[in-house]
């Protein structure tokens, strides 16, 4: 049986544009969205919104999109995770949320939301995911605010 890694790591890293991360630091603003899936047809049968971070600093993540030029180091992943879940519960009251490490190359007991291809293992992804408790929910992205990250995170640019 596959183990579920649900013990949050000591640190998390979040890569995005500097402007977006400044908003994240000041307001705790994060976007929950359907995952970019290798299997887009699965989205209709397995709907969920996600927020993905990494458990290890990985400079290759700057290459995933042209606007990624900075990253957050979240020093208190436990506090961060609890705040994310509280804010998501307010924004999505009829949704269930969970966070855990992704499973690479093998199905996760948590389902497709936590399973991906083996060749992506270097991403060391930690995923927060929410799924509707009723089947007719919309999968539009949602922006949540968890409050200032001062004291639990640092903002760095690619060249730091």
Task: Read off the pLDDT of residues 107-150 as tens digits, 9 standing for 90 and up.
Answer: 999 998 999 999 999 999 999 999 999 877 778 999 999 999 99
Q: Tokens for 17, please give them.
A: 């544009």
Q: Report percent pLDDT > 70 for the chain.
A: 90
Looking at residue 40, its pLDDT comes to 45
Distance CA 40, CA 114 (A): 15
CB environment 110-134: b (16+ within 10 A), e (fewer): bebbbbbeeeeeebbbbbbbbbbee
Whether 43 shows a pLDDT value over 90: the answer reads: no
Query: How far is the C-alpha of 104 from the C-alpha of 135, rounded, in Å?
Result: 27
Q: What's the full length of the chain, in residues?
A: 160
Distance CA 86, CA 111 (A): 23
Identify which of 95, 67, 83 has the alpha carbon closest to the alpha carbon of residue 144. 83
Q: Which residues contact 16 (CB under 8 A, 6 or more apart)?
A: 24, 67, 68, 70, 71, 72
Closest-CA residue to 104 (of 41, 42, 54): 54
Q: Find where tokens 């083996």 sit.
A: 118
């Amino acid at each position: 049986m596959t183990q579920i890694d649900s013990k949050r790591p000591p640190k998390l890293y979040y890569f995005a544009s500097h402007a977006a991360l400044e908003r994240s630091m000041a307001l705790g603003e994060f976007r929950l969205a359907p995952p970019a899936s290798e299997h887009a047809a699965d989205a209709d049968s397995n709907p969920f919104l996600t927020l993905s971070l990494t458990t290890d600093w990985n400079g290759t993540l700057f290459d995933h999109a042209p606007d990624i030029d900075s990253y957050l180091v979240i020093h208190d992943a436990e506090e961060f995770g609890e705040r994310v879940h509280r804010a998501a519960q307010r924004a999505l009251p009829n949704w269930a949320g969970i966070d855990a490490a992704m499973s690479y190359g093998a199905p996760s007991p948590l389902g497709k939301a936590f399973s991906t291809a083996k060749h992506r293992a270097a991403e060391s992804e930690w995923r927060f995911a929410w799924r509707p408790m009723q089947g007719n929910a919309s999968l539009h992205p949602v922006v949540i605010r968890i409050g200032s990250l001062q004291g639990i995170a640092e903002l760095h640019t690619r060249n730091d």
